[in-house]
Chains A and B, each alone.
Chain A
Amino acid sequence: MVSMTRGAYAKPGTSLDFKTGNWRSTEMPAHIHAKAPCHAACPAGEDQQAWFAKLQEGHAEAAWAELVRANPLPAITGRVCPHPCEGACNRAALDGALAIHNVERWLGDEAIRNGWDYPVAAPRANAPEVGIVGAGPAGISAAYHCLRHGLRATIYEASPEAGGLLRAAIPQTRLPRAPLDAELSRVLALPGITLNLRTRLGRDVSLEELRHNHPAVLLAPGCQASTAWSVDGAVPADLREGLHMLKDFVDHGALPEAERVVVHGGGNTAMDLCRLLKRSGSKQVTLITASGLPGPDTDPSDEINVVPRELEEALEEGIEIIDHATINRLIMKGSRVTGVEIMSLRKLPGRDGRSHRIGFEGTERVVAVDMVIPCIGERVEPQGLSGLVERGYLRPSDRFGRLNEGELFALGDARGDRGTVAAAIGDGALAASAVARHLAGEADPVVDDRPEMPNAGLNLTYYDHLPRAEAPKLSVEERTFDTEIEGDIGRVAAMAEAERCLSCGNCLACDNCWTFCPDNAVIKTVELALDGSHYLFDLDYCKGCGLCAHECPTGFIQMLPNANGATEGAV
């Protein structure tokens, strides 16, 4: 018989001899890293869960480094992104979504204040050099991601300064010059990026030259050409298109004077312009948009395409919004407009399977106005891109932005299916990754098709109530033309906000599984386990009760069909 010594550990004679793992009949626990919904919703591809985790550990610089793996411009997106991540955040149903954009902005500003180094190495001197047209967010992001893949990048920008619409159109009240300049110059100064200003494709350089000089060319010229606007052929003599008016204002602070203004459109340009006009003294500013205001009855695809905070602030400031409506007719006195006829409409499915906007007869009404400003979008300026522009845009054939022309890509607004800074940044990352793989002779990167972690997959018992932190904001009376309206959330609130992250789909090392397993089949390790957690399942003893999966707050443990005799390494 076996002799037992005191403390004879894992030796014959103890119950460890008896492998209860073979009791598992149908299911076994496994660590599954599902996508956090914030990550899945982020057009720039950030993994907010990952960088919040670093903040929870108290490491702000590491959190920033994790963030800029995807998005090199957090001080900018933290200010202007419509943050779909917050709309998707699982904490919304609990006590309010995480204030992701405020913390993102704080991290971006901290990096500028402290001069944190971007986690990229200088590329080799003979590394392939990718050509990029346009130094808007798409082009700059593409250049940065080229560096991350060991490539060099040369940017050709028509304007005297980099930034694209960030500089040319977004008002300082939302995006002040200081963080914009600081963040852009930090990225553009990285070794391996060459920026050629005042170099316009189609004037100073041709596409043929670029394609000859670079193994791949990325086109990120944005949309510069205005679309013609007229109502039944009537065009007021003093008609000015919204984006130009806005750019003029951003350049030299000039705005036209008018008592009663109607702005026609449903995007950022329209919204920014409405607010500026109101602030500059117009009595009555009305936005007419074919889209709907956000609400339970509005289909998200039909929602007005602006930053939610901007809409809220515009309403605070007294902007009148007539949604689901269009301008049917202009009422002119000579060549001057004196009124508009408005008609209700809706987006409805048509017989061809596509949605159409249908106006409703009998809903016409007339509003007296002094000025009408169309803000109905821009298209790609075809100069230098002959043959590539198709119905106004570059319209690439895949998610990487590839045009059917060898290593030629279209990014950002020029694609025609984008429209935010974050999407432009995401495009930069996608195109650079595809180019890098191509140049290395490899296939395109695989799509991350992991499922998302829904709210129902979490165990909310384990999250204490913590209210969302609010950033300071100027009151309506305090708002001017140049002071930023939303303030800094600050270190204390940013760190507290990070504590609120539920860590959806990824282990937060809470020890619940380790504490609750009745069979000691969860083993804690100091080292990271292969799946990135600190825990192993000892399938020699796990009976498959499912308790750990049920009590895992984050949904990181899921029960899978039992695998016969499988064990997870030597335990």
Chain B
Amino acid sequence: MSAESERAERLTELRQKFGRKPLAPGEETIPHSPREAQPKFRGLDSGHRACQGCGEALAARLVMESAGPDVMIANATGCLEVFTTPWPQSAWRVPWVHSLFENAAAVASGMEAAMKAQGKNTKVLAFGGDGGTYDIGFQALSGMLERYHNVLYVCYDNEAYMNTGIQRSSSTPHSATTTTSPAGKERMGKRHLKKDLLSIIAAHHIPYAASASVAFPADLQRKVRYAMGIDGPTFLVIHSPCPLGWKHASALTIQVARRAVECGLFPLVEIERGALTNVMPIRDVRPVTDYLSIQGRFSHLMDTEDTRAEEERAHLQALADYNIQVFSLQGDGEDPVDTGGSAAVGRSGHAARRA
């Protein structure tokens, strides 16, 4: 088949699925409410039960806007699954399957194989929390990547098992307090380091793996679109603050996420076939304390009397500096795609920059 006729066929398929039926003579159009007339696809809609200011709900909606509507989802157990689908309701507007906590990637692999067998092009997405990805679902994910399924796996990284009450995961950052790594006399929060998952994923030599943040939605959505265009396994990890588990005001979700990037603790990088191909440069690098001090999960580190706190702050600063060095995050000069330029807004959504 020529590329041309393949495209035409695909368009017809999409029109049948999503297109509006032509009106019969005299037939009236149904008036749309402003919500129905939103100029973007909202694959995840209102009425879900996420907490106020939930970063994960926001991240999932942003992913759906860029990925949908021709997708289907396998969703691991976790907050996202629970708050979007309290029986008998669903906040999803695409086919959606709940897997187990540990096997979203395996279920997605099967869905993809089924699509393939039926000769369909619907893209399969797999969603999991950090617990479901860094920890319990990891071997299923590794298998999916190794078998080269055409699936975009998105990990919503809120750095703990939030749905069961804030237990530490291998993604929880060093020194953060959780219910299973409490700060106290014995320890200053989690003793171990945040797992460098992206490097492990990259070692699978897949076409594309990247990190993104809810604080930079345009960058996030560009990464989703890029991954959607790849025929093969792709992976995205999205830093998604959890006001409840991180103990910050619900209004600060974006500010917290932004500072994680600006201090270097959560680098935004893109890796293709194992090679680092792009990073978001940091315009003005912030000290890690700017990030730590606005979250209750690090409040023990702000104790100026406690020398252990000082040591841990220095440790986290060293980890951030390490990221900045290893990924060359320090920008030189102003760049429209650095942390400052990416945030810039202008009238009617256009970036405020001279042509």
**A57 touching B347 in the complex, CB below 8 Å, given contacts A14-B90, A545-B250:** yes
Task: Let me know if A19 and B47 touch, CB within 8 A.
Answer: yes
Residue of B nearest to A15 (CB): B47
Which residue of B45, B52, B54, B58 has the most chain A CB atoms within 10 A of its CB atom? B52
Contacts of A538 in B (CB 8 A): 35, 46
Task: Let me know if A546 and B53 touch, CB within 8 A.
Answer: yes
- Decide if A466 is an interface residue (CB 8 Å cutoff): yes
Shortest distance between the CB of A284 and any CB in chain B (Å) = 46
Alpha-carbon distance between A510 and B349 when the two chains are bound, in angstroms: 4
Task: Let me know if B46 and A550 touch, CB within 8 A.
Answer: no
Q: Which of A5-13, A226-234, A361-369 is near enough to bind chain B?
A: A5-13
Alpha-carbon distance between A25 and B125 when the two chains are bound, in angstroms: 36
Q: Which of A10, A16, A23, A461 contacts B52 (CB under 8 A)?
A: A23
Contacts of B351 in A (CB 8 A): 464
Task: Let me know if B84 and A508 touch, CB within 8 A.
Answer: no
Task: Let me know if A509 and B343 touch, CB within 8 A.
Answer: no
Q: Which of B200-208, B252-260, B272-280, B323-331 is near enough to bind chain A?
A: B252-260
Task: Let me know if A465 and B340 touch, CB within 8 A.
Answer: yes
Contacts of B243 in A (CB 8 A): 545
Contacts of B344 in A (CB 8 A): 462-464
Task: Let me know if B89 and A464 touch, CB within 8 A.
Answer: no
Q: Which of A18, A496, A517, A570 contacts B47 (CB under 8 A)?
A: A18
Q: Which of A115-123, A404-412, A449-457, A518-526 is near enough to bind chain B?
A: A518-526
Contacts of A23 in B (CB 8 A): 52
Contacts of B93 in A (CB 8 A): 7, 9, 14
Contacts of A544 in B (CB 8 A): 52
Task: Let me know if A56 and B52 touch, CB within 8 A.
Answer: no
Contacts of B62 in A (CB 8 A): 515
- Decide if A310 is an interface residue (CB 8 Å cutoff): no
Shortest distance between the CB of B133 and any CB in chain A (Å) = 21
Task: Let me know if B354 and A523 touch, CB within 8 A.
Answer: no
Task: Let me know if B46 and A520 touch, CB within 8 A.
Answer: yes
Residue of B nearest to A27 (CB): B251
Residue of A nearest to B340 (CB): A464
Alpha-carbon distance between A463 and B343 when the two chains are bound, in angstroms: 8
Residue of B nearest to A52 (CB): B347
Task: Let me know if A464 and B254 touch, CB within 8 A.
Answer: no
- Decide if B21 is an interface residue (CB 8 Å cutoff): no
Q: Which of A15, A463, A500 contacts B48 (CB under 8 A)?
A: A15
Shortest distance between the CB of B225 and any CB in chain A (Å) = 15
- Decide if B136 is an interface residue (CB 8 Å cutoff): no
Q: Which of A20, A57, A571 contacts B34 (CB under 8 A)?
A: A571
Contacts of A15 in B (CB 8 A): 45-48, 84, 86, 89-91
Across chains A and B, the number of contacting residue pairs, with CB separation under 8 Å, is 161
- Give residues 325-355 of B contacting A (CB, 8 Å): 334, 340-341, 343-349, 351-354
- Decide if B61 is an interface residue (CB 8 Å cutoff): yes
Q: Mark A43-75, 1 if CB is under 8 A from B, else 0.
A: 000000000010011000000000000000000
Q: Which of A1, A53, A549, A551 contacts B347 (CB under 8 A)?
A: A53
Task: Let me know if A10 and B349 touch, CB within 8 A.
Answer: no
- Give residues 521-549 of A contacting B (CB, 8 Å): 521, 523-526, 536, 538, 540-541, 543-547, 549
Q: Which of B36-44, B105-113, B140-148, B155-163 is near enough to bind chain A?
A: B36-44
Contacts of B42 in A (CB 8 A): 520
Alpha-carbon distance between A296 and B196 when the two chains are bound, in angstroms: 52
Contacts of A550 in B (CB 8 A): 251-252, 254-255
**A56 touching B346 in the complex, CB below 8 Å, given contacts A15-B48, A20-B47, A519-B46:** yes
Contacts of B90 in A (CB 8 A): 13-15
- Decide if A503 is an interface residue (CB 8 Å cutoff): yes
Q: Mark A491-502, 1 if CB is under 8 A from B, else 0.
A: 000001001100
- Decide if A477 is an interface residue (CB 8 Å cutoff): no
Task: Let me know if B343 and A10 touch, CB within 8 A.
Answer: no
- Decide if A511 is an interface residue (CB 8 Å cutoff): yes
Q: Mark A554-571, 1 if CB is under 8 A from B, else 0.
A: 000001000000000011
Task: Let me know if B354 and A499 touch, CB within 8 A.
Answer: yes
Contacts of A536 in B (CB 8 A): 34
Task: Let me know if A462 and B343 touch, CB within 8 A.
Answer: yes
Residue of B nearest to A570 (CB): B33
Residue of B nearest to A536 (CB): B34
**A511 touching B349 in the complex, CB below 8 Å, given contacts A16-B45, A518-B61:** yes
Q: How many residues does chain A have at the interface if contact means C-beta atoms less than 8 Å apart?
A: 59
Task: Let me know if B341 and A464 touch, CB within 8 A.
Answer: yes
Task: Let me know if B34 and A56 touch, CB within 8 A.
Answer: no
Task: Let me know if B45 and A520 touch, CB within 8 A.
Answer: yes
**A510 touching B38 in the complex, CB below 8 Å, given contacts A7-B93, A13-B89, A14-B45:** no
Task: Let me know if B347 and A56 touch, CB within 8 A.
Answer: yes
Alpha-carbon distance between A496 and B355 when the two chains are bound, in angstroms: 9
Shortest distance between the CB of A328 and any CB in chain B (Å) = 55
- Decide if B50 is an interface residue (CB 8 Å cutoff): yes
- Decide if A178 is an interface residue (CB 8 Å cutoff): no
Shortest distance between the CB of B261 and any CB in chain A (Å) = 12
Contacts of A545 in B (CB 8 A): 52-53, 243, 250-251, 253
**A512 touching B46 in the complex, CB below 8 Å, given contacts A23-B52, A547-B250:** no
- Decide if B137 is an interface residue (CB 8 Å cutoff): no
Q: Which of A462, A519, A549, A571 contacts B35 (CB under 8 A)?
A: A571
Task: Let me know if A519 and B250 touch, CB within 8 A.
Answer: no
Q: Mark A453-479, 1 if CB is under 8 A from B, else 0.
A: 000000001111110000000000000
- Decide if B217 is an interface residue (CB 8 Å cutoff): yes
Task: Let me know if A10 and B54 touch, CB within 8 A.
Answer: no
**A524 touching B343 in the complex, CB below 8 Å, given contacts A15-B84, A515-B217, A518-B57:** no
- Decide if B88 is an interface residue (CB 8 Å cutoff): yes
Task: Let me know if A516 and B47 touch, CB within 8 A.
Answer: no
Contacts of A521 in B (CB 8 A): 46
- Decide if B100 is an interface residue (CB 8 Å cutoff): no
Residue of A nearest to B221 (CB): A515
**A524 touching B57 in the complex, CB below 8 Å, given contacts A56-B346, A56-B347:** no
Shortest distance between the CB of A322 and any CB in chain B (Å) = 44
Task: Let me know if A518 and B55 touch, CB within 8 A.
Answer: yes
Contacts of B47 in A (CB 8 A): 14-20, 541
Task: Let me know if A466 and B349 touch, CB within 8 A.
Answer: no
- Give residues 233-260 of B contacting A (CB, 8 Å): 243, 249-255, 258
- Pairs of residues from A and B, 10 with the lowest C-beta to C-beta distance, nearest first: A15-B47, A546-B251, A545-B53, A464-B344, A545-B52, A510-B345, A541-B46, A15-B91, A545-B250, A518-B58
Question: With contacts A17-B89, A516-B254 known, what are 10 further pairs, Cβ within 8 A?
Answer: A2-B88, A13-B88, A13-B89, A15-B84, A16-B47, A463-B345, A517-B58, A518-B54, A523-B38, A538-B35
Binding site for A on B (CB under 8 A): 33-39, 42, 44-50, 52-55, 57-58, 61-62, 84, 86, 88-91, 93, 214, 217, 243, 249-255, 258, 334, 340-341, 343-349, 351-354
10 contacts between A and B (CB under 8 A): A10-B36, A13-B89, A15-B46, A15-B86, A464-B351, A519-B57, A547-B253, A547-B254, A559-B251, A571-B33
